[in-house]
Homo-oligomer: A and B are copies of this chain.
Amino acid sequence: MRRDVFQAIADPTRREIIGLIAHKTLNLNEIAENFEMSRPAISQHIKILTECGLVEITQQGRNRYCNIQFQKLAEISKWVEQYRIFWTNKLDALEIHLSKETKST
């Protein structure tokens, strides 16, 4: 059972869930209301998000509130950002190219 952040965010529903609870802590039913699919389906998505550490649950009576663990998102950021130097370099090159074109016209 591979459970890493990259696999967790691969599913569009799970990315939407993250989008929902990023701004406001919600319980499972409140999250499920935002989707067409069944509540157990959402429950299973939350489980995956919890298992990889992206979401943490705080139980309060019979409600289970979901909070994002943003440090985990930072893990993804770290992976992508190692390549930023490459794409910014390319953009720089493009800008130089464009400014040359502007001069020549």
Could you list 18 A-B pairs, sorted by A, with CB under 8 Å? A4-B12, A6-B10, A6-B15, A9-B10, A15-B79, A22-B83, A22-B86, A68-B83, A68-B86, A70-B83, A71-B87, A71-B90, A73-B80, A73-B83, A76-B80, A77-B77, A77-B84, A80-B80
Given the known interface contacts A6-B10, A6-B15, the answer about A74 and B87 at a Cβ–Cβ threshold of 8 Å is yes
* Total copies of the chain: 2
Q: Does A81 reach chain B (CB closer than 8 Å)? A: yes
Q: Are B70 and A81 in contact (CB under 8 A)?
A: no
Q: What residues on B are CB-neighbors of A9 within 8 Å?
A: 6, 10
Q: Are B76 and A76 in contact (CB under 8 A)?
A: yes
Q: Does A7 reach chain B (CB closer than 8 Å)? A: yes
Residues 1-46 (chain A) with a chain B CB within 8 angstroms = 4, 6-7, 9-10, 12, 15, 18, 22
